[in-house]
Amino acid sequence: MNQILFPMNSNFRIPGQVALITGGNVGIGRITAIELAKKGFQVVIAGRSLERTQPVLDHIKSLAVDEPAIFLPLDLASLASVRECARLFIELHLPLHLLVNNAGVAGMRGLTKDGFEMTFGVNHLGHFLLTQLLLDKLKASGPSRVVTVSSRAHKRAPGIDWDALCRPTSTWTGIREYSVSKLANLLFSLELAKRVQGTSVSTYSLHPGVVDTEIWRAVPHWARPLLRLRGFLTPEEGALTTLHCAMHAPQQESGLYYADSQPTLPAPLGQNSELAAKLWERSEKWTSNR
Ligand SMILES: NC(=O)c1ccc[n+]([C@@H]2O[C@H](COP(=O)([O-])OP(=O)(O)OC[C@H]3O[C@@H](n4cnc5c(N)ncnc54)[C@H](OP(=O)(O)O)[C@@H]3O)[C@@H](O)[C@H]2O)c1
């Protein structure tokens, strides 16, 4: 494993804080969970498989942390599973200082259990509902943060075709759907910042870099060289911006989009507050009766 570059001061610790991270069993989420545990966070990992998460739970235990990491079942492709995950978290009677909306798919085709385009449903809608259900907990635990892992791929989104979000994936590679879902992540964080203004919750979205993880597993082999053109980062390098937003980015930078641990201007669509508000309203409607 490459040496972790973060943080510069290795004595930096934030004990007594609780972080919930989605998709913490592999890739960027795995490194994020381990690094947060090293900094003193009690880590709760929400994901699809305890079996696949157990090595991370064991790794964290081996760090002699104050509190062991906890696993909660979560399938973001099912809104019922999202509700159950939030319920189980609340039943733990822990505070929540940090929610990392990290899990994601690319190149997956089809529909979620609730009939939404798969990539949009997992990457945006599941996280939208999870955050909504945990918002009171975040407010009560403030200062607290919501960090949402978006992507520079949002720049390729041609806009949001609302009807297409309720149909199966239509492109061969799923790359367009992925770009739209990552635009949605960014707009969600922007609108959330507005809606929690005046509370002690702050929100951040980010591009982690192009990182060598399993995210590309569903992308057809012939399309992968396109993705590799810019060179891959290691997962350790890819977790740095998430960790920066989780622990170091100033509270007053709420709603901003980060890359390389710096606030960065998103594409014009990613700054469109009308689109962000519309996405929020649709997401609310789509998740409220399911
Ligand atoms: N890698 C990159 O170059 C890159 C670039 C820009 C943005 N990102 C973003 O970074 C985030 C992390 O991705 P990664 O690169 O670390 O990919 P990864 O290694 O494939 O990890 C993705 C995580 O998401 C989880 N996940 C997938 N579908 C899920 C579902 N339905 N319910 C719950 N969890 C689910 C996976 O769990 P399972 O093991 O159960 O599948 C896994 O833990 C994603 O949001 C991605 O869009 C990545």
Ligand 1 atom at minimal distance to the Cα of residue 232: 3
Residue 66 predicted with pLDDT over 50: yes
- Mean pLDDT score, 62-82: 95
What six digits make up the tokens of 201? 């919750």
Distance 123 CA to ligand 1 centre (A): 9
Calpha distance 151→128 (Å, rounded): 16
C-alpha of 1 from chain center: 23
| Residue pointed to by tokens 């964290």 | 60
Distance 131 CA to ligand 1 centre (A): 17
Percent of the chain with pLDDT over 90: 82
- At residue 230 the predicted structure's pLDDT band, cuts being 50, 70 and 90, is low
Calpha distance 146→13 (Å, rounded): 19
Q: Which pLDDT does position 242 carry in this prediction?
A: 98
Distance 198 CA to ligand 1 centre (A): 32
Calpha distance 168→285 (Å, rounded): 19
Residue 153 predicted with pLDDT over 90: yes
- At residue 4 the predicted structure's pLDDT band, cuts being 50, 70 and 90, is very low
- At residue 192 the predicted structure's pLDDT band, cuts being 50, 70 and 90, is very high
> Ligand 1 in contact with 31 (CB < 6 A)?
no
Q: Are strands 262-263 and 256-259 parallel, antiparallel or unpaired?
A: antiparallel
Q: Tell me the best of 82, 105, 128 to mutate to test the pocket of ligand 1, counting ligand atoms within 8 Å of each CB and taking the most.
A: 105
What six digits make up the tokens of 48? 């699809």
The edge-to-edge listing of strands for the beta sheet with 201-207 is: 70-73, 42-47, 18-22, 98-101, 144-149, 201-207, 256-259, 262-263
Q: What is the pTM of this model?
A: 0.94
Nearest to 14 by CA among 39, 34, 32: 39
Calpha distance 145→289 (Å, rounded): 27
Q: Tell me the best of 214, 234, 242 to mutate to test the pocket of ligand 1, counting ligand atoms within 8 Å of each CB and taking the most.
A: 214
> Ligand 1 in contact with 214 (CB < 6 A)?
yes
Domain ranges of the chain: 18-288
Q: Which pLDDT does position 145 carry in this prediction?
A: 98
What mean pLDDT is reported for the chain? 92
Ligand 1 atom at minimal distance to the Cα of residue 153: 6
> Ligand 1 in contact with 77 (CB < 6 A)?
yes
Query: Does the structural domain 18-288 have CATH classification 3.40.50.720?
Result: yes
Residues designated catalytic: 178
Calpha distance 97→15 (Å, rounded): 11
Q: Tell me the best of 26, 85, 217 to mutate to test the pocket of ligand 1, counting ligand atoms within 8 Å of each CB and taking the most.
A: 26
Contacts of 89 (CB under 8 A, 6+ apart): 20, 44, 46, 72, 96, 134, 137
Between the two ends of the chain, the Cα-to-Cα distance in Å is 42
- Mean pLDDT score, 128-153: 97
* b/e 103-117 (16+ beta carbons within 10 angstroms → b): bbbbbbbeebebebb
In what helix (H) or strand (E) does residue 193 lie, and over which residues does it extend? helix 175-195
Closest residue by CA, ligand 1 atom 1 = 211
Q: Which pLDDT does position 6 carry in this prediction?
A: 47
